[in-house]
Amino acid sequence: MRRGRRRVSRVATISMHTSPLDQPGTGDAGGMNVYVVEVAKRLAGLGVEVEIFTRQTARDLPPVAEIVPGVSVRHITAGPYEELDKGDLPGQLCGFLSGVLRTEAMYEPGRYDVIHSHYWLSGQVGWLAKERWGVPLVHTMHTMAKVKNLLLADDDNPEPQIRVAGEQQVVDIADRLVANTPTEARELVELYGAAPGRVEVVSPGVNLTVFQPASQSAARHRLGLPDDAHVLLFVGRVQPLKAPDVLLRAAALMLAEDPALRSRLVVACVGGPSGNGLARPSYLTEVAASLGISDVVRIVPPAPQHELADWYRAADVTVVPSHSESFGLVALESQACGTPVAAASVGGLRTAVRDGVSGVLVEGHDPHDWARVLSRFVHQPAWRDALAAGAVTQAASFGWSATASRLADVYARAMTHLSEVPVAAGS
C-alpha cells in the first residue's frame, strides 16, 4: 500500500493555455486566471506551496516568477514565443509536458503531493504527470465543450471533436473533478459519465478587499462619467459566447422607446476581443454604428482590478448576457461593489445571482426582453437600490479563503484515496 499524507504541502497547478500573470479580459485570460491566482494566494496563506506551470509566451519572461511568498509561476517553453490560438495548442502538449516533467526531475522524488489542472489542455498534461509521479490529479474544467455546443450563439463556431474527446479522457482519469456549481456537477455526470463520487462542488470566490462598495459619484468622477448618467456596464472578453451585442441591441431599443434617454445613457464595454472575437476586433464598434448608438457607447480596454472596481461602482447595473458561464465571476465582483446584475439564466449565473434579490435572471437572449429589464434599472431607482443592498449580501457569502480551504480538503481526500489503492508487486 502507498503511504498517504492527509495534509497537502505542495501543489503543481497546471494552466497551460493562459498565464495567471495575464490581464483578465484580453486574449484567453478571464475568470480562470483570477481563480488560479486567488486560490494560490489563499492556499499559500494556509501553508500550502503552489507552483503554477504555464506556457512561455515571450522570450524575456523569467523561468520562474514569484507572485507572493509560496506562490510561483514556472514558464515552460513549448512552441513559439507568442500567443497561440487554443486550437493550435494541442500540437504543443508534448513539449509542454516534457518541460513539466523535467522540472520535477530536478528535485528529490515526491516534490508534489497533488496536481490541479485547469481546462482540458492542462488536464491532458496532468493525466500523464499523474501517472509518472504517482500523485492524484484534481481537475477543474471551467468550461465544457458539450455544454457550449448546446448553447451556441448564432454566429459562434462549435467546439471541435478533439476537445470533446480530450475532456472525456480527463474526466475518466482524474481522481477528483471540481465543479463550480451543482449544475456543473450534474453536467459532468450526465454529459460525460463522471462517477458522482469523484465530483466535488467548490464555489469560486471574490476578492472582498478589492471589490467592495464605495461612492458611485467618486467612481464616476475618476472615470470621467457624468454624475447623472444612466450607466449600463458589460465586463468581459468580447466574443460571441459572452454576447455583448445583446446589451447594445437592448440599448438601441431603449433609446427608440425613450429618445430623451440619449442625453444621459452610457453603455460601457470593458474588455478585449478573444476567441472567435479576434477575427473581428472592431465588432462592437461596428454594431454600435449600425444601430446608430455610437454616441452612447464607450469601448474600454481591459482594466486592472482597482480600476475595474470603479467601473462596477459607477454602473447602475452590470449586464452579463452570456450564452454559457461555468460560474460568472464578473457577476460576483459587481455585486460585491454594490451593483446589481442583469444576467442570462444559464449555468453558474443561476448560483452567482439571486433572482429578484441581488439582480435579475433573464431567460433567453431576445434584446426586447433585455431592454424591458434594463429599463427598470433606469426608471425604478428604489427597486434598483433594493437589489444593490441584496447584491452586497449575496457577494459576502463568497470568499476566496473559503474556496481555498475547501480545495485543500479535496486535495487531502484525493491523496487519502490514492494511498488506499493497492500497488502491484514490483511497481
Per the annotation, binding residues are: 17, 23-24, 28-33, 86, 119, 143, 163, 237, 242, 312-313, 315, 325, 333, 339
The phi and psi torsions of 299 (rounded to 5 degrees) equal: -95, 120
> What is the rounded CA–CA span in Å between residue 85 and residue 88?
5
Residues within the annotated binding site for 1D-myo-inositol 3-phosphate?
A: 17, 28-33, 86, 119, 143, 163
The phi and psi torsions of 297 (rounded to 5 degrees) equal: -100, 135
Residues within the annotated binding site for UDP-N-acetyl-alpha-D-glucosamine?
A: 23-24, 31, 237, 242, 325, 333
Residue 204, SS3 per DSSP: coil
Confirm if 224 and 264 have CB atoms less than 8 A apart: no
**What's the distance, CA 43 to chain centroid?**
18
CA dihedral of 157, 158, 160, 165, whole degrees rounded to 10: 160
**What's the distance, CA 220 to chain centroid?**
26
Q: Which three cell numbers stand for residue 55?
A: 506556457
Residues within the annotated binding site for Mg(2+)?
A: 312-313, 315, 339
Nearest to 116 by CA among 409, 404, 411: 411
Burial class (CB in 10 A: 0-12, 13-18, 19+), 231: buried
| CA angle (260 as vertex; 264, 246 as ends), nearest 5 | 70
In angstroms, the Cα distances linking 265 to 227, 229, 292 are 11, 6, 13
Nearest to 288 by CA among 317, 337, 327, 247: 247
Radius of gyration of the chain (CA): 22
In the chain, how many H helices and how many E strands? 15, 14
